[in-house]
Structures are given as structure tokens and as C-alpha cells.
Amino acid sequence: MLPSFISELTVAHFAIRCRPACAAFHLPGYKGGAFRGGFGYAFKSIACPTHEVDCVHSRLGQSCVYSQVFETPVPEGASIMRKYTYAPHPFVLTPPLDGRSRYSENEEITLELVLVGRAINWLAYFICTLEELGRRGIGRARSQPEFVS
């Protein structure tokens, strides 16, 4: 039998399409690290109003969306995870797992975004972050995707 919290869990799944903003798009074979690293920096610039190094201890505490997403606190009184500093992040960003590193101007790349629980309410932050990531570029080559949906 599943724990009761599983039946109360809300999950939203999104497919996000992007294409190279210029003639060629270069990514490492394992795209997860490039997207995840760039996404974290871009999310902080979008979501953290104080831009302090340690949002968990900022004056905003739990109202800081960045700390709730990337330094996710373990809920008070939790019997599971009580020994951990942080709970799992409430999102999963999955780039294509095809191992390709070069995309032409006309090819689309699809990312999957899964938001869990209250992170669904922060969808606008995730969209703005992806747009910012597109402006900054991804990977060492700083390839710039243009998000189409």
C-alpha cells in the first residue's frame, strides 16, 4: 500500500521546444549538466530578490522562491528525511538523451519539465528562467536556444 502523501502529490508535466537561435547549436554529448548548471544560475538571477549567497538564511526565509526550489527545506516535523539538510528539488528538467552535440538551425530540441507540488505555482519563474538561459547561452560554446513553446 502506498503512503498517504502519494495520493495527495500533484505533478505537472511540460514539453518545451527550442531551436538554435543561430546557424549552429553546439552542446556536450551529455546535455543534462549544461542545461542544469545554466538553469540554476539563471533561476537565481530571476527568482532571488536579495541575490545573497545563502538564500536559506536571508531575511526572506521560506518566501524566497530560489531557496524553496534549489535549497528545498525538509518540512518541519517530517518523519521521512529528517536527517537530511535538504529535500529533493521539486522539479525535473530533462534534455534530450540522444548524445548528439550539434543541431542545425531548423532542428527542434525538446526539453521535459516536471514540476511537483507547490512548484507548479511557480511555473512563471521556470518560463522566465528558460528565456534567460536562452539569452545567456548553454554550455561552453554558449549556444543560444530560442524557446518556441
What confidence score (pLDDT) does residue 83 get?
A: 80
Enter the C-alpha cell of residue 117: 507540488
Q: Which amino acid is at 77?
A: G
Mean pLDDT of the chain: 81
What confidence score (pLDDT) does residue 126 get?
A: 95
Can you tell me the mean pLDDT for 6-11? 80
Backbone angles phi, psi at 78, to 5 degrees: -70, 135
What confidence score (pLDDT) does residue 64 get?
A: 81
What confidence score (pLDDT) does residue 134 get?
A: 84
pLDDT tens string 28-68: 778 888 888 888 889 988 988 777 766 555 566 667 888 88
Question: What's the total number of domains in the chain?
Answer: 1
Please check the confidence at residue 133 and state whether its pLDDT lies above 80: yes
Question: pTM to 2 decimals?
Answer: 0.83
Q: Are 140 and 37 in contact (CB under 8 A)?
A: no
pLDDT band, residue 113 (cuts 50/70/90) = very high
In the numeric block, the cell 542544469 is attached to 36
Domain, as residue range, for 118: 4-147
What confidence score (pLDDT) does residue 55 get?
A: 59
Q: Can you give the CATH number for the domain in which 113 is found?
A: 3.30.70
Nearest to 100 by CA among 129, 38, 143: 143
Please check the confidence at residue 142 and state whether its pLDDT lies above 80: no
Q: Using CA atoms in the order 103, 143, 121, 59, what is the torsion angle rounded to 10 degrees? A: 160
